[in-house]
Amino acid sequence: MLDVNALRNPRVMITLLLLIAAVLVPFFAGNFLVSFGSRIIIWTIAAISLNVILGYGGMVSFGHAAYLGIGGYAVGIMAHHGINSGFLQWPVAMLASALWALAVGALSMRTRGVYFIMITLAFAQLIYFVGVGLEAYGGDDGLTIYKRSEFAGILSLKNRATFYWTCFVLMLGVFYLCHRLVQSRFGMVLQGSKSNDLRMRALGFPTTRYRLTAFTLAGAMCGLAGALLANQTDFISPAMMHWTASGDLIVIVVLGGMGTLFGPLYGAIAFFVLEESLKPLIDWVRPGWGDYWRLLFGPLLVMVALYARGGLDSLFERAARPRHG
Amino acid sequence: MAEPLLAIDGLVKRFGGLIATDNLSLDVRTGEIHALIGPNGAGKTTLVAQLMGQLPSDAGRIVFDGNDITRLPTHRRVGAGLARSFQITSVLRDFTALDNVALAVQAHQGHSFRFWRPARHDSALRDPALVILEQLGLGARADTLAANLSYGEQRQLEIAMALAGDPRLLLLDEPMAGMGPDESARMVAFLQRLKGKRTILLIEHDMDAVFALADRITVLVYGRAIATGAPAEIRANPEVRKAYLGEEHADA
Amino acid sequence: MDPQLTLYLIQALNGLQLGLLMFLLAAGLTLTFGIMDLVNLAHGSLYMMGAYFAATFISLTDSFLLGALLALIASLVLGIAVEVIVMRRLYRRDHLDHVLATFGLILFFNELVRAFWGPAGLTIAVPSWLAHSVQLMPGVIYSAYRLAIIAVGLLVALFLAWLVTRTRTGMWIRAGASNRTMIGALGVNVQLLFTLVFGLGSVLAALAGLMAAPIVTVQIGMGDNILILAFVIIVIGGIGSIKGAFIAAMTVGMIDTFGRAFLPELLKLFLSNSAASTAAPALSSMMIYLLMAGILVWRPTGLFGARS
């Protein structure tokens, strides 16, 4: 299946090496790195889902963290009531997120541009305040999950490495799904609508229902990421669906390269590695200033917006292009 | 006489106080090239948008092949056999020429809720798309991004996309707009070859092209049809000469 | 006077005061949005910076008015600097670029505040000459400081109405909000107009921040949540419309205030006491977003929006 020539492409090489290294992480890395890796993988899944609608569909959803929260709360609330089976929790998490995405999408698709950005944000805020108001489940303070999702003894997510590999396999699955999805007829319509919606409609595509379907699928995908996140942190709180988390997701997608398959992975790695490494790096240059790493990270985002919209993916591609002269 | 393929009856479109389409009635017969001419602002492009369902009509009826389509959404009209090209080039710029036409083909093969098989390897889409590109002389440019095509090539791609669904009525909104004389001549030659095989409502400013191609001509002024007839009749019609052709000749 | 009526009156004043503060924040935002088509998430940062500048200058000068004036000047300079360094590079970009870049600015400003003023919040005392209550009517006693906020807010609203409807600059602003390319064709120095509008918006945001400071805590991120409310307001009102922003700000201010004041009582009919008092603020916040969603479904470009 794999084209041997493709290996000469640095993008493919980088991704393959990353993936191989990622599989091996639990063998050589300590607890911190394994948890760190799980976190990156979970956010990658969430970012892939956003990439489907933002990168391929051109829909700037500024409320994507809501689905992360709904997925997390589905797991947390069920665990709170003694329902610990992941076979039940995870599908419910995905279904609940998908339903909410369907509702939000159906209303938001009536608007365009800035209004679309704002209405998705408003609906996410709505869910955020629902979380704050859910006093039975901790309200503002959140809720501790005492038992991770159980899979009839097949998988023990309490084991750090097992949890990591579970996330990893799910990420690969979601990548493959996304790959098939965007290449399919459905994906062509989605991308066509991003490119020129008016023309797509004139061609005879009722584009709204395709966009809405993508929006709903993305919601379900992100709900899965939310279920994983709740298991990883053993905790849910409204903070996981704060609007800044939606902003973080956009940053990850753009940083990695919008509308590219592996962009979300590059973006999530870059985002979290920067977050963890800028601090010691600055401390090393100027002791005591490491805490203020966002003073660098903020302007970095401005730079990305201004000068590097292709993200890391296009950087790798440029490195891959044969030089002339 | 046979039923017309398209019958427009008393169609109206208002924008605030402005009347863009003013109680317009018009027939397009099967197999003819029916040209729609008129000065700028006569409401020609508005009419195309109304026919395609991209703009709702305020009054009147549009009957296509015996069915009232006045209230149908765009995609249902396309399904019934309408297709349009755009006066201002409107192609999918970051898709290849072949992808553009393949999408147009795809629009006519049922719903696109097909999530698994790669569309770019689907010969049911690619083969017909390639045939159409060849017809328009774009075969060699199939894998070029639409954004990188020359202006004239993009205009041809416009037509290719409109043709892809094998439409029963083709609405061409100024296909020659902005083209050089050579490119225009080639486009006229291409449309000449469609004559008799396809039903076309042609909007065009280039009078030589219109008189060379059209079986019948309707003259539109301020959203109202002031005359319909064979090219010779239109040429002779004093009202038309006054309202439109005269103005054109005065310019020249 | 009927105590129930007194309560309503005081809540109405609170709602008016909150609405006016949010109008100050939303006015600048809706102008930059309408004229430059710029999604500026960092607008809330200027609100925060206004409050921090005020805290510093007031303690330095020992005068509320002088400190506030200096804070406004500092915010104007800061706003213009942000426009010149970052924003003017963004106008021609798409909204996603705006979101990304101004999100970065929020992180930057929040961190800047933490580095300079420390992570703990600050307080600004109500100036002594306003630290009393006024009897408006028999039984209706209201804080003089809050009355002052209402007065300033109304004055600014009148000033903006005059600026936008009666002056040449205002004509350009209105023209720009409905048709950007036109003002360039009129021979207006568009770049300068943009800088001025952005500076004005920054000062208004800072004014809102520093006036709110004695009522709320001056803290990092104080602008972030109110910014979202300001966005809700301009979307409800219609982007680019000062009138729309005013009406929406008043509505949101009233809903929020009355929701917080009366929902707990209402909810206690169905819920336990403690559940009602935690659920009520969340519910009144939710009502605002529901209102926005409802309005957008009804009118996809807001109440007074000219274009999508």
Digit-coded pLDDT (tens) for A101-122: 999 999 899 888 888 998 899 8
Nearest residue on chain B to A196, alpha-carbon basis: B92
Look over chain B and give the mean of its residue pLDDT values, rounded to a whole number.
90
Question: Is A251 inside any structural domain?
Answer: no
A291 touches chain C (CB under 8 A): yes
| Contact between B90 and A201 using a beta-carbon 8 Å cutoff | no
Contacting residues of C for A274, CB less than 8 Å apart: none
Q: Among residues 203-232 of chain B, which lie with CB inside 8 Å of chain A? A: none
Q: Which residues of A touch B (CB under 8 A)?
A: 180-181, 183-189, 191-192, 195-196, 198-206, 210, 213
**Selected residue of A104, A242, A294 to mutate for chain C interface (largest C Cβ count, 10 A):** A294
Mean pLDDT by 10 residues, chain A (325 residues): 63 84 88 94 98 96 96 97 95 98 92 87 91 88 93 88 96 96 97 96 96 98 98 95 94 94 94 90 84 87 86 81 53
Q: Cβ contacts (< 8 Å) between B115 and chain A: which residues?
A: 180-181, 184, 186-187
Percentage of the residues of chain A whose pLDDT score is greater than 70 = 96
Check pLDDT > 50 for residue B4.
Answer: yes
Separation in Å, CA A235 to CA A16, A137, A156, B224, C258 = 33, 11, 18, 69, 33
Q: Give B195's strand partners.
A: B198
User: Checking DSSP bridges between strand C133-137 and strand B67-68, what pairing results, if any?
Assistant: unpaired
Report the residue of chain C nearest A289, measured CA to CA: C115
CB contact under 8 A, B95 and A191: yes
Asked whether residue C147 is domain-assigned, the answer is yes
Contact between chains at C279 and A135 (C-beta distance less than 8 A): yes
Q: pLDDT confidence of B168, banded at 50, 70, 90?
A: very high
The per-residue pLDDT for B251 is: 42
Residues of B in contact with A188 (CB under 8 A): 99, 102-103, 106, 112, 119-120
Give the model's pLDDT for residue C308: 39
Q: What are phi and psi of A12, to 5 degrees?
A: -65, -40
Question: Which of B106, B113, B120 comes nearest A183 by C-beta?
Answer: B120
The ipTM is 0.91
Alpha helix locations (H) across chain C?
3-36, 43-61, 64-85, 95-117, 144-166, 168-178, 180-185, 190-212, 222-237, 242-267, 273-298
In this complex, the residue of A123, A292, A304 whose CB is nearest that of residue C111 is A292
Touch between chain B and chain A (3+ CB pairs, < 8 Å)? yes
Side-chain-facing half-sphere of B188: CA atoms under 13 Å: 19
CA C107 to chain centre: 19
Contact C104 A302 (CB under 8 A): yes
Q: Which pLDDT belongs to residue B246?
A: 56
> Is A11 a domain residue?
no
Which pair of structure tokens corresponds to residue C222? 């104080």
Per-residue model confidence (pLDDT) at position A181? 97
Residue of A nearest to C94 (CA): A113
Task: Say what the pLDDT of residue B250 is.
Answer: 42
* H/E segment holding residue A94: helix A86-108
**SS3 label, residue A150:** strand
Domain of A124, in residue numbers: 30-241
> Are chains C and B in contact at 3+ CB pairs closer than 8 Å?
no
CB hemisphere CA count around A286 (13 angstroms) = 7
Render pLDDT for C248-295 as a digit per residue (tens, 0 to 9): 999 999 998 988 888 877 877 777 777 777 777 788 888 888 888 888
Between B181 and A48, the more confident residue is A48
Partners of C143 in the beta sheet? C133
How many separate domains does chain A show?
A: 1
Structure confidence at residue C36 (pLDDT): 82
Q: Which of A62, A113, A122 lies at the smallest CB-CB distance from C308?
A: A113
Judge: A304–C100 Cβ closer than 8 Å, yes or no: yes
- Judge whether residue C150 has pLDDT over 80: yes
Q: Residue C139 domain-assigned? A: yes
Token pair belonging to B233: 């009749």
Chains that touch A (3 or more CB pairs under 8 A): B, C
**Residue A20 domain flag:** no
Chain A residues inside the 8 Å CB shell of B95: 191-192, 195
DSSP B117: S
Strands B18-28 and A150-151: unpaired
* Yes or no, beta carbons of A123 and C293 under 8 Å apart: yes
Mutate to test the interface with A, among B91, B103, B113 (most CBs of A within 10 A): B103
Nearest CA-CA distance, residue C166 and chain A, Å: 29
Say how far apart CA A64 and CA A242 lie, in whole Å. Answer: 10
Instruction: Look at residue C203 and tell me if it is in a domain.
Output: yes
CA-CA distance, A194 to A211, in Å (whole number)?
A: 9
Kindly state whether residue C103 falls inside one of the protein's structural domains: yes
Mean pLDDT of the region B21-38: 93
Domains, chain B, in order of start with CATH, read 1-81+169-181+202-252 (3.40.50.300), 91-166 (no CATH)
Q: pLDDT-derived band of residue B162, with 50, 70 and 90 as boundaries?
A: very high
| Count of beta carbons in the 10 Å neighbourhood of residue B104 | 31
pLDDT digits (tens, 9 = 90+) for B88-134: 999 999 999 999 999 999 999 999 999 999 999 999 999 999 999 99
Chain B residues in contact with A183 (beta carbon < 8 A) = 118-120
Question: Is C104 within 8 Å of A111 when comparing Cβ atoms?
Answer: no
Phi/psi at C151 (5° precision): -60, -50
Contacting chains of C (3 CB pairs or more, <8 Å) are: A
Q: For B37-61, what is the mean pLDDT?
A: 91
Q: Which two tokens stand for residue A151?
A: 């899979």
Residue C2 predicted with pLDDT over 70: yes
Task: Please indicate, yes or no, if residue A97 is contained in any of the structural domains.
Answer: yes
Is B143 in the A-facing interface, judged by CB distances under 8 Å? Answer: no
Helix boundaries (H) for B81-167: 97-106, 123-135, 151-163
Q: Find the CB nearest B90 among A184, A191, A198.
A: A198
Cα–Cα distance, B9 to A311 (Å, whole number):
54
Please tell me the predicted confidence (pLDDT) of residue C283: 82
Which pLDDT score, from 0 to 100, does residue A1 have? 44
Q: Is B107 on the interface with A (CB under 8 A)?
A: yes
Option in A184, A195, A196 nearest B119 (CB):
A184
8 Å CB contact of B92 and A205: no
- Per-residue pLDDT reduced to its tens digit, B202-212: 999 888 899 99
Subunit contact A126:C290, Cβ cutoff 8 A = yes
C177 — phi, psi (to 5°)? -70, -30
Report the percentage of chain C scoring pLDDT > 90: 47
Q: Which domain holds residue C143?
A: 3-220
In a domain, C19, yes or no: yes
For residue C274, the chain A residues in CB contact (below 8 A) are 135
Chains C and A in direct contact, meaning 3 or more beta-carbon pairs closer than 8 angstroms: yes
Give the span between the Cα atoms of B124 and A208, in whole angstroms: 25
- At B221, list the tokens: 């002024």
Dist CA C224 CA C221 (whole Å): 5
Can you state the percent helix, strand and coil of chain A, rounding each to 5? 80, 5, 20
Does A87 lie at the interface with C, CB-CB under 8 angstroms? no
Task: Provide, rounded to the nearest whole percent, the portion of chain B with pLDDT above 90.
Answer: 73
Residue C103: which of A246, A312, A54, A56 has the closest Cα? Answer: A246
In angstroms, the separation between the Cα of residue A219 and the nearest Cα of chain B is: 16
Give the alpha-carbon dihedral of A138, A141, A143, A144, to 10 degrees: -140
pLDDT value at residue A321:
67
Confidence of residue C178 (pLDDT cuts 50, 70, 90): low
Q: What angle (nearest 5°) sits at the alpha carbon of residue A190, between those of residues A186 and A193? A: 135
pLDDT > 70 in chain B, percent: 96
Distance from the A93 Cα atom to the nearest Cα atom in chain B, whole angstroms: 22
Q: What is the residue type of C71?
A: A
Measured CA to CA, the distance from residue A100 to residue C183 in angstroms comes to 43
Kindly list the residues from chain C whose CB atom is less than 8 angstroms away from the CB atom of residue A129: 282-283, 285-286, 289
C242-257 pLDDT per residue, tens: 899 999 999 999 998 9
Q: Which residues pair with B35 in a beta bridge?
A: B202, B217
Prediction pTM value: 0.91
pLDDT of the residue at B9: 94
* Domain presence at residue C294: no
Tens-digit pLDDT profile for residues C46-105 = 999 999 999 999 999 999 999 999 999 999 999 999 999 999 899 888 899 999 999 999
